[in-house]
């Protein structure tokens, strides 16, 4: 029997009516002859609420207990989806991560998938179950405790199941009908892309485009999973949505294929650290151990023998970063005058595999921002992307200006 993986995001299961709508889509695929593994997120807003409870209780929380709390949202949705399918006379059963079992590392709140044994679920399919509804975002660590895969981890769960079960395809249902050149809520000129290369999608996902989680795209690329992004709210053909595929499947690509924006950024600067070999390791080693996700890094020249080190990180990790660096300073492993955190910045990025063969992208980007009176604080580049930090109040203006400058509304 062919197998299909269908993942429904939070907006697609935001209430019981939407769960029924999603269940009808699943029922149609069962009627088409598929066994189906459904991966569900928590209801829209539920995870944020649960995270809020944790942060109210403790800013420097125990990540194991964080996982115990925030994983509960997906469990509720899985149960409701299974009940809805049963009411439709579709044989369905809900599965929590530990019941599969989806085995992970013990990096709580940011665990990685180690193994997904297929025996338990396949045995139930053989007994007549048609749909396995799996709580996304969660697994079980080596210590037997619940783990979570990081925000957006249900996407990763879905792609990992598609790879493990050799599914015919993996469909990601969300509140948009595909991947757009930028956030359609920022500019009405945003255009849906028919195809996006894995590498482009990786960059867009890591730079603020929230259609897919980065690790889900990595897995799809590694295991050649046929991955589509579709809308939960529109009737569509088998060719609808956006296909995430290999670069060689795209005949020609523009220099820039998308503009991404992330408002959840902070710029942190260590003022007056020693300018000596090993100073970067002394700074970023403790940050890594504390679970701080550092992105852009700039070392500035200041007075003789001293330097300033600037980096960006998610805004919700600022307190963690400050504590890690101050702890090292107190132990004598690092000396600096002060830490300055700017939590009012945004990261704007342009992405395109066409940058490899076409020049002038950086010049056009910087001139466009300059013409709009937008100052650039930090710049970082890779082979297919350019990112800048700017004042957060200019986020929409920057995205709209860059989208126009690179004529992304044109196919």
Q: Which residues are annotated as a binding site for substrate?
A: 47, 74
Q: Which residues contact 57 (CB under 8 A, 6 or more apart)?
A: none
> What span, in angstroms and rounded, lies between the C-alpha atoms of 113 and 159?
11
Helix ranges, 88-183 (H) = 119-126, 153-164
* 160 cis-preceded (ω within 30 degrees of 0): no
DSSP 8-class letter at 212 = S
Annotated binding site: 7-10, 47, 74, 174-175, 180, 185, 210-211
* Strand pairing report for 227-231 and 170-174: parallel
Calculate the CA 180 to chain-centre distance.
15
- Token pair belonging to 359: 């020049």
Helix ranges, 226-360 (H) = 279-289, 318-330
Cβ pair 163, 68 in contact under 8 A: no
* Contacts of the segment 67-72: beta carbons below 8 A, 24+ positions apart: 67/108, 67/109, 67/138, 67/145, 67/146, 67/147, 67/148, 68/145, 68/146, 70/148, 71/97, 71/135, 71/137, 71/138, 71/146, 71/148
Annotated binding site for ATP: 7-10, 174-175, 180, 185, 210-211
């Amino acid at each position: 029997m062919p197998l299909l993986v269908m993942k429904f995001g939070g907006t697609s299961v935001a209430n019981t009516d939407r769960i029924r709508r999603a269940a009808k889509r699943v029922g149609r695929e069962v009627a088409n002859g598929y066994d189906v593994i459904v991966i569900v997120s928590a209801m829209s807003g539920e995870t944020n609420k649960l995270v809020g409870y944790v942060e109210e209780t403790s800013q420097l929380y125990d990540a194991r207990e964080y996982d115990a709390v925030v994983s509960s949202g997906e469990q509720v949705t899985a149960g409701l989806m299974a009940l809805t399918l049963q009411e439709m006379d579709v044989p369905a059963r809900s599965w929590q991560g530990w019941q599969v079992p989806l085995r992970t590392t013990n990096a709580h709140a940011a665990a990685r998938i180690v193994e997904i044994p297929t025996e338990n679920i396949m045995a139930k399919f053989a007994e007549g179950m048609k749909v396995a509804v799996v709580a996304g975002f969660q697994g079980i660590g080596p210590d037997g405790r619940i783990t979570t895969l990081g925000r957006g981890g249900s996407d990763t769960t879905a792609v990992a199941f598609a790879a493990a079960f050799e599914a015919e395809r993996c469909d990601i249902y969300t509140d948009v009908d595909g991947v757009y050149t930028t956030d359609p809520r920022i500019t009405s000129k945003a255009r849906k892309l028919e195809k996006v290369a894995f590498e482009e999608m990786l960059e867009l996902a890591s730079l603020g485009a929230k259609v897919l989680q980065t690790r889900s795209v990595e897995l799809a690329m590694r295991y050649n999973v046929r991955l589509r992004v579709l809308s939960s709210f529109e009737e569509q053909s088998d060719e609808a949505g956006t296909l995430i595929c290999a670069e060689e499947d795209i005949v020609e690509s523009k220099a820039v294929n998308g503009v991404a924006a992330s408002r959840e950024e902070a710029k942190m600067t260590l003022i007056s650290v020693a300018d000596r070999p090993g100073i970067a390791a002394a700074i970023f080693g403790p940050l890594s151990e504390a679970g701080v996700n550092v992105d852009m890094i700039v070392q500035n020249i200041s007075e003789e023998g001293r330097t300033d080190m600037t980096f960006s990180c998610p805004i919700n990790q600022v307190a963690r970063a400050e504590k890690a660096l101050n702890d090292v300073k107190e132990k004598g492993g690092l000396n600096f005058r002060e830490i300055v955190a700017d939590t009012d910045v945004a990261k704007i990025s342009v992405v395109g595999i066409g940058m490899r063969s076409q020049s002038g992208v950086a010049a056009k980007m910087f001139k466009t921002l300059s013409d709009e009176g937008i100052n650039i604080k930090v710049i970082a580049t890779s082979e297919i992307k350019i990112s800048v930090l700017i004042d957060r109040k200019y986020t929409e203006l920057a995205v709209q200006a860059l989208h126009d400058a690179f004529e992304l509304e044109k196919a």
